[in-house]
Structure 1
Amino acid sequence: MDEHYEIKVDSPDAPGEGVLVAQSIWGILRGLETFTQLLYRSSAAFKINSTQIMDFPRFSFRGIMIDSARHFLPLPSILETLDVMAMNKFNVLHWHIVDDQSFPYVSSTFPNLSRMGAFSPLHTYSHDDIERVVEYARLRGIRVLPEFDTPGHTKSWGPGQPGLLTPCYRNDTPDGSFGPIDPTNEANYIFLKKFLTEITSRFPDKYLHLGGDEVSFSCWKSNPNITEYMEEHNITGDYSKLEQVYITRLLNIVSNLPTHNGYLVWQEVFDNGVQIAPETVVHVWKGEDQPLLYKAELKRVTAAGYKTVLSSCWYLNYISYGVDWHKYYDCDPQDFNGTDTQKSLVMGGEACMWGEYVDRTNLTPRLWPRASVVAERLWSNADDTNSVEEATPRLEEHRCRLLRRGYDVEPLWPSFCEGIL
């Protein structure tokens, strides 16, 4: 996306005139948002100062992640999130749409997945819902990046697709519980190809997020059929080698879909030594309060030649009493010990809003204006050395702006907004 734009208002070469210039519709959208922020009320009129702006984002990937599996997010909540994202110049909605807890996505190819995996028939997203979100986002310069996390985080998939999940054993007997997707069942790869073919027809973005995080190996270890399969196929070592077999097959499926999609994976796939394709984007998320950990991870991932996206320092679902946004502002995705070539592989970052304790009632206030801090960090020039003290009045002004536009964004400290109760 070319998001460059230029604004001139009463400039020396065109006094008394205003112009917005961009090479793409995306640049026009970003410029229009800036123009609205330049306006101020004076008496009964809106005015704008003479100005010249040449602007473009530092990072091409500036995302917000929402989670509709732990708590269902109604369509109006998602559309409202897209509205506020556009006001903050975010350009990627990462939609973590399904997980262990529920499967709200209605598949036309495998309707039992949502029929048996959603919280209820009311808590689902139809084909029309998906289409509306994708188009609503597109008109605001936002890509919709869907995530269907496997082989773990898939308990809600099991009831609607028998044979997909691995039966867990205790004392050589099935105990009635299930673990990750069974990588030894050939039928599962046929299912995944058909399902992902449908997904890529519903979500037109070039990329899919394939997950791959937090895969527990205990169920695989307990299952004698898994052990036998590993022996027959000479898979030695720990069970991450079996995960490698699954991920390799999955990436091959995605690469050979009619749409030839690219993909993101969570960092565990890289950390476990899985042989991933060179074009894989590794999503770094661990070490929320330990910068040395995620900086070391960024160094390792980029040293291996992979592109990356950072989320570790921007888990906005965590809350605390008092001012907590300073650490978000101080986080820089390229602030690690690497070469310029390595740092060029950092595509950007993403603020995450996991849904264990978030639903439609608190999604907007918990996200905003804290996510606005992330937006500025991902857009602003690397040479911008503003401190949190300098950013504070801008953030307060922006919070008041969002309130005036009708969004219930939470307060940052004791304050008030002129003309707003």
Structure 2
Amino acid sequence: MKPTPLLAAIALLSTTSHAKTWLLPIPQSVEWTGYQLQLDPDFHIEGASNLYVHEAAQRYHKLITKERWIPYQKNITEITPLKNRQDTLKTLQISVEDAHAKLDFGINEAYNLTIPDSGGKATLDAATWVGALRGLETFSQLIIEDEGTLVAHSSKIQDEPTYPHRGIMLDTSRNFYSVESILRTLDAMSYNKLNVFHWHITDSQSWPLHLEMHPELAQKGAYSPSQIYTTADMRRIVQHAQSRGIRVIPEIDMPSHTASIAESHPHLVACVNKDWEVYGAEPAPGALDPTKNETYALIEDIVSELADIFPDSFFHAGGDEVNSHCWADDETIGPYMKEHGLTTDQLWAQFEDKVGSIVEQNHKRAMIWEDAIVVAKADLSKNVAVQVWTTTPENIIKLGHDIIHSSSDYFYLDCGGGGWVQNDQRYISPDQKATPGDTFNYGGTGGSWCAPYKTWQRIYSFDMTKGIKKQSGHGQVLGGEVALWSEQSDETVLDAKLWPRSSAAAEIFWSGSYDKSGKRRVLSEVWPRMNDWRFRLLKRGIGAIPIVPQWCLSAGTSCLI
């Protein structure tokens, strides 16, 4: 008899029914012993010689004792009681092979964690200090409160990430986010073992970025003097991220999405203040003039200053949504294109090649959105990593570029929120229209170009390897990112927009879409852990939205189809 989804879920959960804790992201290998150990009153963590590991050990020790976690998800199946040992768990011994490894792309994050059923000493062995941070997070999830006593679930865990790049992209131009809200996001990322904060700092709407070499950009292009990221702010964010094992990759979007530069350098930006429906992707069209040497001089200054502030080896140079009319209709660029026999796409490709050289000269590896490769057919260095958001990823890989998954069909967290362009007649109800036809309100997208809303279930169902063949050299899947574009988001809704949906992405980025045996990860296995994880995030100060009625948490399988 073929099992129904409900029976399959119960059968799967029964294989681990002796464990009363839910781990997320799920480790690559977990062996439960069936025992639990009381945490000794003098429990402590030893061996954390690296500064960040030492700070994390102190942080997690406080978290465990303050959190006193009691699982919310209950009554799924009859749980075999864990056996108790008389001996307590007295210490967690951390051993790090490389305590001085540079936090950068490809750093080894593997760790082994053992909590013996005999009590005494648990061990956390990691290849690098970053791996130790990941192991400490897992250890914290293994400690719960049982009848008023903190206990550790005896287990043996071997774990490492499937992908080295696991990120969140946050747009801070369209609406501003305080430094404190960004730091809180970094904390939440560390709980989920996400390791890349892709900071889309600037865009057409505002330039909130202070640069010592060009202070006029923020002075003229920011929304207000209080909505500017200073050099100290940027360094604070980088330092906080570093302490959590998170890389920060800055993005300066160009040549398009640069109308904010025109506030201080109007002669370097085309089609500003023109009809956005003709000249841009959304209100505030604008694209840098690729024919002027001064444009590249400004880019060199921006990249060189940020290269000093952001230590990561990657630099994101944008490269999306160049509008052909913007350049072709410009009184300077249009004649230049005709004189040199260039199409918009050819000029665009030249621009990307020059920007790539500037990035390389600053000892960074360029990352761009797919558009320059897919639309402009730019033949760029294979060292350029491509962030895929609409195209079929294997098409980029076949060209020899490494990719980062950010499919708008799965990973765009702003989708489904309706439109934001004002006075749009398509919102009018059918009975108020002069002519019949669908509207955004009835049978439409609600005004969201990438509707529907991306649920955590949809995100989790993404196959990171579909249609992609393994090969050597360039042309690899580096990982993935969820993206929060901020036309309708700011810090007041940041947590709710990100969590726990980003947790679903975090698991397939860390654990992979398939387990080590090649079995596809499915919703019937993850939903109890997601239900519980949302409440743990709340306990840790992250305003994650509810994903089920609270009744479902104690109703067993009653909320399943």
User: Normalization by structure 2: what TM-score?
Assistant: 0.68
Rate the CA distance shift 1:90–1:322 in 2: closer, same or farther, 3 A.
closer
**Equivalent-residue separation in structure 2 for 1:339 and 1:82 (angstroms):** 32
Correspondent of 1:219 among 326, 331, 354: 326
Q: Tell me, yes or no, if structure 1 residue 359 matches structure 2 residue 490.
A: yes
**Equivalent-residue separation in structure 2 for 1:99 and 1:120 (angstroms):** 15
Q: Quote the residue 1:200 is aligned against.
A: 307
What is the number of equivalent residue pairs in this alignment?
Answer: 398
Identity %: 35
Q: Quote the residue 1:246 is aligned against.
A: 351
Q: Quote the residue 2:247 is aligned against.
A: 143
CA contact (8 A) 1:62 1:92 kept: yes
**Equivalent-residue separation in structure 2 for 1:276 and 1:164 (angstroms):** 24
Q: Quote the residue 1:298 is aligned against.
A: 393
Q: Tell me, yes or no, if structure 1 residue 79 matches structure 2 residue 183.
A: yes
User: Normalization by structure 1: what TM-score?
Assistant: 0.90
Mapping 1:280-291, distance limit 5 Å: 280-286=384-390
CA contact (8 A) 1:334 1:343 kept: no
1:48: Cα distance to partner? 1.1
Moved beyond 6 Å, runs of 4+: 320-323
Correspondent of 1:265 among 340, 352, 368: 368
Letter in 1 for 2:395: R
Query: 1:153-183: CA deviations, max 9, x gaps?
Result: 000111112421125799xxxx9x9731001
Rate the CA distance shift 1:50–1:166 in 2: closer, same or farther, 3 A.
same
Query: 1:106-146: CA deviations, max 9, x gaps?
Result: 11111110000000001110111000000000000000010
Letter in 2 for 1:262: R
1:324: Cα distance to partner? 2.3
CA contact (8 A) 1:179 1:220 kept: no
Letter in 1 for 2:541: G
Rate the CA distance shift 1:344–1:112 in 2: closer, same or farther, 3 A.
closer
CA contact (8 A) 1:165 1:178 kept: no
Q: Tell me, yes or no, if structure 1 residue 378 matches structure 2 residue 473.
A: no
Q: Quote the residue 2:82 is aligned against.
A: none
**Equivalent-residue separation in structure 2 for 1:55 and 1:7 (angstroms):** 8
**Equivalent-residue separation in structure 2 for 1:126 and 1:168 (angstroms):** 26
**Equivalent-residue separation in structure 1 for 2:500 and 2:243 (angstroms):** 22
**Equivalent-residue separation in structure 2 for 1:216 and 1:161 (angstroms):** 20
1:316: Cα distance to partner? 1.5
Correspondent of 1:411 among 535, 546, 560: 546
Correspondent of 2:148 among 35, 44, 60: 44
CA contact (8 A) 2:366 2:384 kept: yes
Mapping 1:1-400, distance limit 5 Å: 1-10=107-116, 16-166=120-270, 179-235=286-342, 238-257=343-362, 260-271=363-374, 272-286=376-390, 294=391, 297-312=392-407, 313-319=410-416, 324-341=455-472, 345-381=476-512, 382-383=514-515, 384-400=519-535
1:148: Cα distance to partner? 0.1
CA contact (8 A) 1:33 1:87 kept: yes
1:365: Cα distance to partner? 1.4
**Equivalent-residue separation in structure 2 for 1:96 and 1:305 (angstroms):** 25
Q: Which runs of 5+ in 2 are unaligned?
A: 1-106, 418-451, 555-561
**Equivalent-residue separation in structure 2 for 1:77 and 1:299 (angstroms):** 36
Query: 1:5-56: CA deviations, max 9, x gaps?
Result: 0011116xx7643111102110000000000011110122211121000100
CA contact (8 A) 2:328 2:337 kept: no
1:406: Cα distance to partner? 2.3
Query: 1:243-269: CA deviations, max 9, x gaps?
Result: 112111111111112xx1101110001
Query: 1:255-285: CA deviations, max 9, x gaps?
Result: 112xx11011100011121121110001001
**Equivalent-residue separation in structure 2 for 1:207 and 1:322 (angstroms):** 30
Query: 1:344-394: CA deviations, max 9, x gaps?
Result: 700000011110111111000121011100000111143253320211000
Query: 1:50-101: CA deviations, max 9, x gaps?
Result: 1000100000000001111111000110000000000000000000111111
Query: 1:189-232: CA deviations, max 9, x gaps?
Result: 11111121111111111111111111112121112422322233
**Equivalent-residue separation in structure 2 for 1:25 and 1:116 (angstroms):** 42
**Equivalent-residue separation in structure 1 for 2:469 and 2:454 (angstroms):** 31
Letter in 2 for 1:413: V
Structure possessing the higher radius of gyration over alpha carbons: 2
Secondary structure at 1:156 match in 2: helix
Rate the CA distance shift 1:178–1:311 in 2: closer, same or farther, 3 A.
closer
RMSD between aligned alpha carbons? Answer: 2.2
1:339: Cα distance to partner? 4.7
**Equivalent-residue separation in structure 1 for 2:271 and 2:412 (angstroms):** 33
CA contact (8 A) 2:287 2:322 kept: yes
CA contact (8 A) 1:61 1:92 kept: yes
CA contact (8 A) 1:323 1:412 kept: no
**Equivalent-residue separation in structure 2 for 1:62 and 1:369 (angstroms):** 15
Secondary structure at 1:97 match in 2: strand
**Equivalent-residue separation in structure 2 for 1:400 and 1:394 (angstroms):** 10
**Equivalent-residue separation in structure 2 for 1:270 and 1:388 (angstroms):** 34
Q: Quote the residue 1:401 is aligned against.
A: 536
CA contact (8 A) 1:169 1:222 kept: no
